[in-house]
Structure 1
Amino acid sequence: MTVTYSSKVANATFFGFHQLLLRWKGSIYKLLYREFILFALLYTVLSIVYRIVLSEDQKRLFEKLSMYCDKYAEQIPVTFVLGFYVTLVVNRWWNQFVNLPWPDRLMFHISSCVQGKDEYGRLLRRTLVRYVNLTSLLIFRSVSTAVCKRFPTMDHVVEAGFMTPEERKVFENVRSPHLKYWIPVVWFSNLASKARQEGRIQDSIDLQNILNEMNRFRTWCATLFGYNWVGVPLVYTQVVTLAVYTFFFACLIGRQFLDHTRGYQGHDLDLYIPVFTLLQFFFYCGWLKKLLWFVREQNGIDGKELPTRFSCWTKIYSGTFPHFVLFLHHARKLST
């Protein structure tokens, strides 16, 4: 989950944006500090071994190995594979957010086009909206681990009021090897057509607008289902991970400061601390870690949010069925 920081830079102060570099929550420092410390420790150990432990002959052999690793490590196309992977994963992550099924427009159409101030009219609008929410819930149970943990079975869906026991029987009687998120869409369309026949929707254009919005909502759900069904190819993740890790494994040896008295090219100074190598590790591995986090987050919401979501639901849901769940019961009473 991204961390909002726009309020921290709302005012144009001299050090406003520089303060963002010192934030810990959601920062690259929090994400990468373990790997960064490990890389620095391994580099330091190799440097101490080269300077103190090895004999002169062993130092000459290590220096040849270091120059070899430094020369051929640059042939690993880290920038290319990381850039390709960044484009793929970030575009995929953003498109999933863009295609989240928002029910607002559909609810506005239902509220304005489905007439009736009596009990039946209110139940009719509530049932239409409930079918919309049920469609999104079935999709979210498929693509989000957090929602699946909140509603692990259809019993929980019925208990929460998104589906009546009668509707569940109809739902389970439909045999399909695929996700049946489209069934509430069919119920919605049939109920909207019935409302038009009964005069609750006074114009066919209004009915068409409602159905078009529902079809748009279904398209969003289908897009999310498709993204969850076809993930990022494992080969891409493996290639990028191996390229980055292999490159920095070679840098552990190839970027060592060698004896400057030997006159090796590019080793005129002995600075002990490889500043630019550490910066390179920080940037490349930071991108890789963040991209792997994106891939993981695309399969569900961070589990750390679950306690908050459960507490919010506990306050909202009192344990009794909402009135709109009893639509069929009230409809039968009104018809008699």
Structure 2
Amino acid sequence: MTVIYTDKLASRGGFGSFWKLLSRWRGSVYKMVWQDMLAYIILYYAISFIYRFALPEDYKRDFESFVIHCARFRNLIPVSFVLGFFVSLVVNRWWGTYQCLPWPDTLSILVSTHLKGEDSAAKEIRGTILRYVNLTIALTFAMVSPVVKKMYPSPQHFVNAGYMTVSEMEILDELEKKTTQHKTWVPIMWACRLVDKARDEGRLKNPLAQKMITDELLRVRGSCGGLLGYNTYTIPLVYTQVVTIAVYSFFLFSVIGEQFLDPTKGYFQEASVDLYVPIFAILQLFFYIGWLKVAEALLNPFGADDHDFEFLPLLERHTEISRMLTEPTPNELPALLQGKKEELTTPVEGDEDEESQDFFLVKPDSPVRTLSSSVTYVTCQMNEINMQNDV
């Protein structure tokens, strides 16, 4: 799952500020490339051993010609250009996928604000609307993520988890017989009809509030549709194949082209040092393979890898937040301030006249105001101040 390391970067800077991150293994580039790099090293030393100790002289000359040929033409493969453009495309797609993740927070606040009522019917309407939204999100996640699909392999598991009822499951089963298209839009339609019913019953006083809630429901549906689109329509396979073939072709040619040759033969005009370990070739391959592995990891962020999105915790979070925002308890809603400023806050040195204190605070002997009366009170105070300034 997603590796979070932003807490390690807080208030950091200067020389070596990222060194602690380089030693981490989970989610690191070392974990992604070590197998490819190990294969490269094994192949390199196997070929080097055969050349140095096993080949006859005449075969050595042929092998040396082949090494020179590979070293001369391997850089003609446009690895940097092809791989750089591919990684840029994949990262943009990954970020777009994240932006398509649906969040029910705004809808929960709108429903809690505009669908008023403390009776059981009002509470049931609010809870059902948010349950339908979370059902849509859960169905979408199950379609794109194997992790969520494993957790909820059938509609009955959604019933057991409380996302839908048996009757709702039967409706979805009937729709499954009529069409093979996905059914994630169905709970959103139920929620929109429930909002319309609440408007007919007078629970929604303002038609603009109904429009806001309906628009937010459709926005969640659009986010789920975008997520399904990213899962269905990926980067064309031919481009992925071209990039992979280019990188691993360079990988194979580098194994041969980086071989150390007998300096007495004068193949190279510059001095040649037998380092025994191809340091620069390993670094070059490390960057190219690491770049390719980054693209492979971000190409499909719906699995269970270190760089994939955590859909199951996200579902749990959405359910909990929806419940908290839709049904806040009285002690979670602050009352308007009453009393003198020095009784409510820590005294601050400075000159403040009583008029400014009265402007920002509710009168000590006045009852707790509602939002509308508080706005009226503040408006009157502002008008009085403006009149005094005019005078």
How high is the TM-score relative to the length of structure 2? Answer: 0.75
For 1:262, the equivalent position in structure 2 comes to: 265
Using the TM superposition, give the Cα deviation of residue 188 of structure 1 relative to its aligned residue in structure 2, in angstroms: 0.7
For 2:332, the equivalent position in structure 1 comes to: none
Using the TM superposition, give the Cα deviation of residue 303 of structure 1 relative to its aligned residue in structure 2, in angstroms: 9.8
For 1:171, the equivalent position in structure 2 comes to: 172
For 2:281, the equivalent position in structure 1 comes to: 277
CA shift in 2, pair 1:12/1:244, >3 Å: same
For 2:295, the equivalent position in structure 1 comes to: 291
Q: 2:55 matched to 1:54?
A: yes
How many residue pairs match? The answer is 314
Paired with 1:169 and 1:118, the residues of 2 have a C-alpha distance of 29
Given that 2:3 and 2:307 are in contact with CA atoms closer than 8 Å, whether structure 1 keeps it comes out as no
Paired with 2:26 and 2:61, the residues of 1 have a C-alpha distance of 46
For the residue of structure 2 that corresponds to 1:74, the secondary structure is helix
For 1:203, the equivalent position in structure 2 comes to: 206
CA shift in 2, pair 1:309/1:211, >3 Å: closer
For 1:100, the equivalent position in structure 2 comes to: 101
Using the TM superposition, give the Cα deviation of residue 185 of structure 1 relative to its aligned residue in structure 2, in angstroms: 1.1
Q: 2:239 matched to 1:236?
A: yes
Paired with 1:257 and 1:184, the residues of 2 have a C-alpha distance of 67
Given that 2:152 and 2:158 are in contact with CA atoms closer than 8 Å, whether structure 1 keeps it comes out as yes
Q: 2:9 matched to 1:9?
A: yes
One-letter code aligned to 2:37: F
For the residue of structure 2 that corresponds to 1:201, the secondary structure is coil
Given that 1:260 and 1:267 are in contact with CA atoms closer than 8 Å, whether structure 2 keeps it comes out as no
Paired with 1:222 and 1:100, the residues of 2 have a C-alpha distance of 10
Given that 1:8 and 1:16 are in contact with CA atoms closer than 8 Å, whether structure 2 keeps it comes out as no
For 2:87, the equivalent position in structure 1 comes to: 86
Paired with 2:269 and 2:174, the residues of 1 have a C-alpha distance of 74
Paired with 1:128 and 1:239, the residues of 2 have a C-alpha distance of 47
Using the TM superposition, give the Cα deviation of residue 309 of structure 1 relative to its aligned residue in structure 2, in angstroms: 5.7
For the residue of structure 1 that corresponds to 2:76, the secondary structure is coil
Larger Rg: 2
One-letter code aligned to 1:233: P
Given that 2:114 and 2:204 are in contact with CA atoms closer than 8 Å, whether structure 1 keeps it comes out as yes
Using the TM superposition, give the Cα deviation of residue 271 of structure 1 relative to its aligned residue in structure 2, in angstroms: 2.2
One-letter code aligned to 2:25: W
One-letter code aligned to 2:111: I
One-letter code aligned to 1:235: V
For 2:149, the equivalent position in structure 1 comes to: 148
Structure 1: tracts of 5 or more residues without a match: 318-323, 325-336
CA shift in 2, pair 1:27/1:43, >3 Å: same
How high is the TM-score relative to the length of structure 1? Answer: 0.87
For 1:180, the equivalent position in structure 2 comes to: 183
Using the TM superposition, give the Cα deviation of residue 257 of structure 1 relative to its aligned residue in structure 2, in angstroms: 1.4
Paired with 1:277 and 1:181, the residues of 2 have a C-alpha distance of 50
One-letter code aligned to 2:245: L
For 1:29, the equivalent position in structure 2 comes to: 30
Given that 1:96 and 1:227 are in contact with CA atoms closer than 8 Å, whether structure 2 keeps it comes out as yes
Paired with 2:27 and 2:139, the residues of 1 have a C-alpha distance of 30
For 1:321, the equivalent position in structure 2 comes to: none
CA shift in 2, pair 1:205/1:88, >3 Å: same
Aligned-pair identity in percent equals 43
One-letter code aligned to 2:27: G
Paired with 2:54 and 2:270, the residues of 1 have a C-alpha distance of 20
For the residue of structure 2 that corresponds to 1:265, the secondary structure is coil
CA RMSD of aligned residues (A): 2.6
One-letter code aligned to 1:225: L
Paired with 1:9 and 1:121, the residues of 2 have a C-alpha distance of 46
Structure 2: tracts of 5 or more residues without a match: 321-325, 327-391
Using the TM superposition, give the Cα deviation of residue 126 of structure 1 relative to its aligned residue in structure 2, in angstroms: 0.1
For 1:135, the equivalent position in structure 2 comes to: 136
Using the TM superposition, give the Cα deviation of residue 176 of structure 1 relative to its aligned residue in structure 2, in angstroms: 1.9
For the residue of structure 2 that corresponds to 1:82, the secondary structure is helix
For 2:110, the equivalent position in structure 1 comes to: 109
Paired with 2:143 and 2:213, the residues of 1 have a C-alpha distance of 26
Q: After superposition, what is the alpha-carbon deviation per residue over 1:42-101, rounded to whole angstroms, capped at 9, x for unaligned?
A: 111111211121122111111100011111111111112211210221111111111100
Given that 1:259 and 1:267 are in contact with CA atoms closer than 8 Å, whether structure 2 keeps it comes out as no
Paired with 2:290 and 2:153, the residues of 1 have a C-alpha distance of 35
One-letter code aligned to 2:148: V
One-letter code aligned to 1:78: V
CA shift in 2, pair 1:309/1:231, >3 Å: closer
Using the TM superposition, give the Cα deviation of residue 290 of structure 1 relative to its aligned residue in structure 2, in angstroms: 2.2
